[in-house]
Amino acid sequence: MDKIHLNQMSFYGFHGVFPEEKKLGQRFLVDLILETDLQKAGKSDDLHHSIDYGLVYQVTKQVVEGYSKNLVEAVAEEIAQSLLVRFDLLQACTVKVVKPDPPIPGHYQSVAVEIYREKNL
């Protein structure tokens, strides 16, 4: 299966289990891998045979900057399900949601979840 990558999309959301996360918010980074057949798009040079990256960004933004959730797992799941429903040509997707600055003690670059979901045919 062919793949479209959208990397390091940056959004501001209010997800987390701690009250300060829901009040102050924080930055989230999202990476997507979209699986679809791109041969027809490559041969025709027609966007109708591919997935519009701009629309993918907007769908992802609506989820991350939308209603507050406790877990980034829930954010990732909603992104995946929203994309699979919205884009007919999308067969499967990998969604990675990164919290660069979570309010937990320790030394690390970030915390993240990554999920893989397929369209139910």
Q: What does pLDDT average to over the chain?
A: 95
Angle at 89 between CA 88 and CA 94, to 5 degrees: 100
Q: Where are the domains of the chain?
A: 2-118
**109 — pLDDT class (breaks 50, 70, 90):** confident
Task: Determine which one of 40, 61, 96, 99 is catalytic.
Answer: 99
**108 — pLDDT class (breaks 50, 70, 90):** confident
Annotated active-site residue 61? The verdict is: no
Rounded average pLDDT over 38-43: 96
Task: Express as a percent the part of the chain with pLDDT over 70.
Answer: 99
CA 37, distance to chain mean position in Å, is 20
Q: pTM for this one? A: 0.95
Alpha helices in 1-121 (DSSP H): 19-24, 39-44, 53-64, 72-86
What confidence tens digit (pLDDT) does each residue in 57-90 have?
Answer: 999 999 999 999 999 999 999 999 999 999 999 9
Region of 106 please: left (phi>0), alpha (psi -120 to 50) or beta: left
Neighbours of 72 (CB within 10 A): 22
CA quadruple 79, 85, 88, 93: dihedral positive or negative? positive
Structure confidence at residue 121 (pLDDT) = 64
Task: Express as a percent the part of the chain with pLDDT over 90.
Answer: 90
Rounded to an integer, what distance in angstroms lies between the CA atom of residue 102 and that of residue 112?
A: 10
Rounded to an integer, what distance in angstroms lies between the CA atom of residue 6 and that of residue 9?
A: 7
User: CATH says 2-118 is which class?
Assistant: alpha beta
